[in-house]
Amino acid sequence: MPELPDLEVIKDVLVRRLVGRRIAEVVVLRPLVVRVLDPDATPESFLVGRTVTEVARCAKFLRFALDDGGWMAINAMLAGRLRYTPAAQRARVRDYVRLRFDDGATLSYHDAKGMGKVYLTRDLDAVPAYRDTVPDALSSDLTAEAFVERLRPFRGEIKGILTRGEAVGGIGNAYGDEILFEAGIYPFRKRSTLSREEQLRLYDAMRAVLVWAIEVLRERVGDRIDVEVRDFLRVHNKAGHPCPRCGRPISEITVAKRATSFCRSCQPGSLIRN
């Protein structure tokens, strides 16, 4: 799943490549993921001839502003990826939508699971799950005190709170693991058991891990925004590998089909639920 660091780097590339470019052609290869929220429009009438004026990220959404006031908002969900090439490209299996621009470049939406969505709308509030009111994990408005206050209403397991997108936006399974490892907090701890000092430590870990990951990805991804780079992460999907801090094997527990990777020594705790 693309998370905040992935999407931030993808956004940066598309700002450089697409802002100011006019959409010359739209090909809907598989209509399943396309949602036109303007009842009088088709994907072609909504997009063709329009110029991209902005590319921005809101939590796990990418949004494209068009010169007539319209929006394209993409929620990649579990397996969606965007692929940019500076020239025409042949469609791949599981490509759903392809946009060709006036300079010949193409942008394709690919989704191995078909769970993501490409929304075309004139009102972002109409887009399901588009939570502009949830602060982004790297927002300058999300101070340490504001973060602690946003956690306060939630009493469940801390990893789930971080990744559901209700308290803070942009964090998924992979970076949830990394943030909790950095903070030294057991992923299945109840929020209500965390001290104020631990919650402040979690905030610092969140900011540090996400900034670090963005810097690594900017160096390694380039324009290949369809490639997911996760091998540099320290604990996520590293079950059995030595912990980079203490050297003991990384553990992995799967709950509700979601794997959580952590170090039992550096993040002590118990799965016993009260």
Structure-token match 């588009």, residue found: 130
CA-CA-CA-CA dihedral for 200, 57, 90, 20, to nearest 10: -150
What is the per-residue burial (b if ≥16 Cβ within 10 Å, else e) of 235-258? bbebeeeebeeeeeebbbeeeeee
Q: From the CB of residue 86, how many other CB atoms can be counted at a distance below 10 Å?
A: 12
Out of 50, 60, 100, 159, the active site residue is 60
Within the chain, strands assigned E span: 23-28, 34-36, 52-58, 61-66, 71-75, 80-85, 95-101, 106-111, 117-121, 251-255, 258-262
190, 156 in Cβ contact below 8 A?
Answer: yes
Q: Cα–Cα distance between 250 and 235 in angstroms, integer?
A: 7
- Per-residue tokens: 121: 């709308």
Q: Which of 2, 5, 43, 135 does the annotation list as catalytic?
A: 2
Which of the residues 113, 155, 258, 268 is marked catalytic? Answer: 258
- The distance between the two most distant Cα atoms of the chain, rounded to a whole number of Å, is 60
Active site residue 159: no
Whole-angstrom Cα distance, residue 102 to residue 156?
Answer: 50
Which of the residues 3, 8, 157, 178 is marked catalytic? 3
CB of 203 within 8 A of CB of 144?
yes
Catalytic (active site) residue 219: no
CA distances from 42 to 8, 30, 38, 114, 162 (A): 29, 14, 8, 20, 37
152 given a catalytic annotation:
no
The verdict on whether 257 is a catalytic residue reads: no
Which residues form the catalytic set?
2-3, 60, 258
